[in-house]
Amino acid sequence: MYFRSAWGCNLALSATIGIPQALLYYKYFPLWEGFLKGLGAEVVSSNITTKGVVNTGTSVAENELCLPVKIFFGHLIELKDKVDALFVPRVISVEQDTYTCPKFLALPDLARAIDVKLPKILDPTFNTRLGKRRFYNSIFEFGKLFTDSKYKTWRAWQSGLAAQKAYQQKLLMGIPPFEAIHGGIEEVSLTGDLRIGIAGHPYNVHDPYINLNLTKKLKKWGAQVVTEEMISPKTLEHEANKLPKRLFWSYEREVVGAAFHWLQTRSVDGIIYILSFACGQDSLIQVLLETEAKKHEGIPFMSLVIDEHSGEAGLITRVEAFIDMLRWRSLS
């Protein structure tokens, strides 16, 4: 990780840093929060996504951008008057020989380009392709914004890693991200006559506004819900490697790994894939998953394409029909 900052001097120890509750919040918030708090900053996250947040983000975004990015803009604007700076990292690569989605490579630039005056944007770049030495040297460079002590910066980073590890253990147990982060009531459902796998990026699967409360609806209809976070990273990697050519998008590999695992083990009755309209990677993965699902007869697969115009009534109709079909198959 290297850091390119618009700040010309160290931040005050009491600086308030805002983290939007969108996009990679669902993957790395404990890491980022633990690191920033260890450096002495106060961390504030935005509230859950609402219609107002979506409308605000959509009004300042280019039409071609996908819904998750538009929502991210809405969260930035919600935070702008509450914090001294915004944490918008440039996540390029999180594992060797891979990249993330292009939107994460350009996210700080996209944020600065919107026609709204925002606080200073802190944009560390996470890029494991640069090697460990440059990665850790850049952590110390980022820490200089808060402290001259390398030891304090290192301790802060270790605190973030410990928080991230504990978070991932909770996810493996089936605790949803929001509850795992905020310590809410566990919503793990171990009962139900159907077991449904929900594939997709965490910001689509776990943001209740984006997916129109799909997970909650499925549980209400008597289904047990499983997601990729409940599968070990080793298993996800093993299953994704079954593709004839290695995907070089890390997060898409995780989606493929989860769906392939459910299909191979036949551990679910059906799979619902949530994808964003106008997302090129999602469209490619959709074809891969649909092709693989046809090879495993008996496990139905359904795609749900979402954008800012998606309506709850249409989604309910499609998902209810999918659930009814699964129950009918189980009785035949």
- Structural contact between residues 199 and 236, judged by C-beta atoms closer than 8 angstroms: no
Last residue of a domain, one of 113, 145, 172: 172
Residues 195 and 157 in one domain: no
Identify whether residues 48 and 124 lie together within a single domain.
yes
Do 47 and 148 belong together in one domain? yes
What's the pLDDT band for 332 if we cut at 50, 70, 90?
low
Are both 200 and 154 inside the same structural domain? no
Chain segment 42-88, per-residue pLDDT in tens = 999 999 999 999 999 998 988 888 889 999 999 999 999 999 999 99
Q: Within a domain: residue 181? A: no
Average of pLDDT values for 248-265? 90
Does 205 lie in the same domain as 89?
A: no
Which one of 140, 172, 204 terminates a domain? Answer: 172
- Closest CA relative to residue 301, chosen from 238, 258, 252, 241: 258
249 shares a domain with 161: no
Structure tokens at 36: 């920033």
Q: Are residues 193 and 163 in the same domain?
A: no
DSSP reduced 3-state for 273 = strand
Per the listing, tokens 């404990």 go with: 30
The answer to whether the CB of 60 falls within 8 A of the CB of 116 is yes
Choose among 121, 144, 127: nearest CA to 39: 144
Long-range contacts formed by 240-249: CB under 8 A, 24+ apart: 243/288, 247/98, 248/97, 248/98, 248/99, 249/98, 249/99, 249/100, 249/101, 249/281
pLDDT for residue 7 is more than 50: no
Tens digit of each residue's pLDDT (9 = 90 or more) over 34-55: 999 999 999 999 999 999 999 9
Same domain, 92 and 152: yes
Helical spans, DSSP H, in 39-66: 51-60
- Both 128 and 232 in a single domain? no
Q: How many domains does the chain have?
A: 2
Q: Are residues 194 and 282 in the same domain?
A: yes
Look up the CATH number of the domain holding residue 54: 3.40.50.11890
Q: What is the average per-residue pLDDT within 218-242?
A: 90
Cα–Cα distance measured from residue 109 to residue 131, given in angstroms and rounded to the nearest whole number? 24
Q: What domain range is 222 assigned to? A: 189-331
Distance CA 211, CA 218 (A): 12
Residues 142 and 205 in one domain: no
From 1-5, 85-89, 127-131, the region with the lowest mean pLDDT? 1-5
Phi/psi-derived region of residue 125, left when phi > 0, alpha when psi is between -120 and 50, beta in every other case: beta
